[in-house]
């Protein structure tokens, strides 16, 4: 399978705990994106990377959230001191910004539930 | 910033009929308009996209139209099948590799 891979698929944790999600993009895709999707809504942009550089962060990305892509390949999204409102599906996507327009390909997400 | 609206929020059609979903966007800088299909428990899958220099694009049973002046774009699915049942999202972006702004989604049910 050469698609975008996300791990874990589901995460249940207590309020106040820290959680970390991982995304493995399609090989050779230089851009990697994180989105958040709550029930019944469309995905909302959080942040994106070109290679290892984080180029844009949404206002939704509070200081409890941090994303990294240290070697320009996989990425991690960490949420510290989780709150009830963090319960959502966290989606990762990747694309290639060269050689013409290339669409973003999404993974199947990590569903986070805060107890 | 960009805002994408989408109608209807739910749509039920008989198998074989057509389905139409309409969207509007607000930012004239948007030039790329993808449509995604999302099935339960899955991530969004791109089904078709259109760029601002094109007014219409078709791929088998799916067609999209774009009116850049009015900031409207639409998805048409003909000869619907039960497997078309899913949530469909329209979206807008400056380019295919910039952040994508999604509409709220349309839940399509195709009744056999």
Residue A42 C-alpha, separation from nearest chain B C-alpha, in angstroms: 5
For A11-48, the pLDDT digits (tens) are: 999 999 999 999 999 998 999 999 999 999 999 999 99
pLDDT tens, residue order, chain B (112 aa): 889 999 999 999 999 999 999 999 999 999 999 999 999 999 999 999 999 988 999 999 999 999 999 999 999 999 999 999 999 999 999 988 889 999 999 999 999 9
| Position A60 confidence tier, pLDDT thresholds 50, 70, 90 | confident
Counting residues of chain A whose pLDDT is more than 90, the rounded percentage is 84
Q: Which residues of B75-105 are buried (b: 16+ CB within 10 A; e: fewer)?
A: bbbeebeeebbbbbbbbbbbebbbbbbbbbb
- Length of chain B (residues): 112
More confident residue, A102 or A91: A91
User: Which residue from A90, A83, A107, A70 is spatially nearest to A13, judged by alpha carbons?
Assistant: A83
Q: Can you spell out the DSSP letters for B17-34?
A: S-EEEEEEE--TT--EEE
The conformation of residue B60, written as its DSSP 8-state character, comes to T
Residues of A with CB under 8 A from a CB of B: 4, 31, 33, 35, 40-45, 48, 56, 58, 91, 93, 95-97, 101-109
For B48-72, the pLDDT digits (tens) are: 999 998 899 999 999 999 999 999 9
The CA distance from A32 to A52, in Å, is 9
Q: Is B96–A41 a contact, with Cβ atoms under 8 angstroms apart? A: no
């Amino acid at each position: 399978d050469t698609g975008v891979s996300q791990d874990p698929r589901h995460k249940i944790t207590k309020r106040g705990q820290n959680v970390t999600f991982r995304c493995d993009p399609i090989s050779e895709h230089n851009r990697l994106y994180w989105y958040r999707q709550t029930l019944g809504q469309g995905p909302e942009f959080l942040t994106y990377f070109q290679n290892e550089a984080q180029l844009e962060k949404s206002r939704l990305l509070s200081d409890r959230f941090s994303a990294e892509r240290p070697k320009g390949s996989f990425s991690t999204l960490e949420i510290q001191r989780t709150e009830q409102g963090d319960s959502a599906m966290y989606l990762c996507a990747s694309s290639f910004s060269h050689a013409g327009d290339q669409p973003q390909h999404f993974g199947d997400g990590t569903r986070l539930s805060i107890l | 910033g960009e805002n994408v609206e989408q109608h209807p929020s739910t749509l039920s059609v008989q198998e074989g009929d057509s389905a139409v979903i309409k969207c509007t966007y607000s930012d004239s800088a948007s030039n790329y308009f993808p449509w995604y299909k999302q099935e339960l428990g899955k991530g969004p899958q791109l089904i078709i996209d259109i760029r601002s220099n094109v007014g219409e694009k078709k791929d088998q049973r799916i067609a999209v139209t774009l009116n850049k002046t009015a900031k409207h774009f639409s998805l048409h699915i003909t000869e619907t099948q039960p497997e078309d049942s899913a949530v469909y999202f329209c979206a807008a972006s400056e380019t295919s590799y910039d952040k994508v702004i999604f509409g709220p989604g349309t839940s399509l049910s195709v009744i056999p």
